[in-house]
Structure 1
Amino acid sequence: METLYTATVSNVGGRDGDVKSLDGILEMDIKRPLEMHGEGGAANPEMLFAAAYSSCYNGALMAVAKRREIILPEHAVEVSISLNQDGNNMFLSGKIVVKAPGMNHEQLQQLADTAHAVCPYSKAVKGNMDMKVQVLV
């Protein structure tokens, strides 16, 4: 195995603190969302995870389309990450929505499912959190 890149980010203060990458590129406040009785107005862990996941998944989607020589029209990938509670248990769930207006639904669904199988973030959460994949054309 060859490591291509490692990102290291430090947090001080948990959900009401800040995060900083060791290289200084990322530096931002983290606030508990209003829905969790927080201040809101800043990023939160679920938002950051959704941002990273959507970027990685979209890269996988574009790579799969290129390998299959399928023209992927202008499109967007939305990832929703939910923090859930069941008694004292807290867990994440999510949804990936691929929007590619004008594309064949079945072809897009096949691309989306394959991207979900090869995306490093999808592999990381497989068996650990419920992720749904939906396509809209």
Structure 2
Amino acid sequence: MGASPAGNRYQEEKLFMAIQQSDVKYTAVATAENGRDGRVATDDGQLDVVVNPPKEMGGNGAGTNPEQLFAAGYAACFQGALGVVARNEKVDITGSLVTAEVGIGQNDEGFGIIVAIKATIPTVDAAKAQELVDKAHQVCPYSKATRGNIEVTVSAA
């Protein structure tokens, strides 16, 4: 039996958003041992950290945790996307900051995450800041990867 037309459209959109292996410019490699209560390191030695669940989840909170690492990556990626959008529109975003808040909690399928992106852009008014953030959310690779999978909200100040 074939998939429904909506299912086909979804698969086509997913394929359209994918990149081909030949188009990959950089690949990051990280290895974890002992999951959320162990260590994670990159193959180039630039990152080597102890990971522990936060105290709120029964851990000792002695190291970082996957949510912090995801928040750091998302914030940096989103700031880059914001810069691309601003340059394309010839808007000065000097002094801008992007904060990513990543929450984890139980859902019907076990655990899930939720993200809130907050950008502060002191050089533009609130309406223009929100417009830039909305556009950055459309081009940010992390936003594209999470779209339709987790709740992500974006706001600007």
TM more than 0.5: yes
| Closer, same or farther: CA 102–23 of 1 in aligned 2, 3 Å | closer
Give the aligned length: 136
1:117 aligns with 2:141: no
The one-letter amino acid of 2:152's match is M
Counterpart of 2:60, as a letter, is E
**Structure 2 regions of 5+ residues with no counterpart?**
1-19
Specify which of 91, 95, 105 is matched with residue 126 of structure 2.
Answer: 105
Q: Does 1:134 align with 2:155?
A: yes
TM-score scaled by length of structure 2:
0.83
SS of the residue corresponding to residue 36 of structure 2 reads helix
1:13 alignment partner in structure 2: 34
Shift of 1:52: 0.3
Structure with bigger RCO (C-alpha 8 Å, 6+ apart): 1
- Paired position in structure 2 for 1:58: 79
Contact 1:11/1:19 (CA < 8 Å) preserved in 2? yes
8 Å CA contact 1:46–1:81 kept in 2: the answer is: yes
2-structure distance, mates of 1:118, 1:18: 32
Shift >4 Å, 4+ stretches: none
Q: Partner letter of residue 134 of structure 2?
A: D
Task: Determine which structure has the larger strand proportion and give its number.
Answer: 1
Q: Secondary structure at the match of 1:32?
A: coil
Instruction: Report the secondary structure of 2:100's partner residue.
Output: strand
| SS of 1:14 mapped into structure 2 | coil
Displacement of 1:88 after TM fit? 5.3
State the AA in 2 paired with 1:17.
Answer: G
Give, in angstroms, the shift of residue 101 of structure 1: 2.6
Alpha-carbon contact 1:80-1:96 (below 8 Å) kept: yes
**RMSD of aligned Cα (Å):** 1.1
Deviations 1:8-40 (A, max 9, x none): 100001111000111111111001101101010
State the alpha-carbon separation in 2 of the partners of residues 37 and 85 from structure 1. Answer: 14
Correspondence for 2:110? 89
Gaps of 5+ in 1: none
Structure 1 residue 75 displacement after superposition:
1.2
C-alpha separation in 1, matches of 2:72 and 2:38: 19
Q: Distance in 2 between matches of 1:64 and 1:88?
A: 36
Q: Percent identity?
A: 36
Match of 1:80 in 2: 101
Instruction: Give 1 or 2 for the bigger CA radius of gyration.
Output: 2
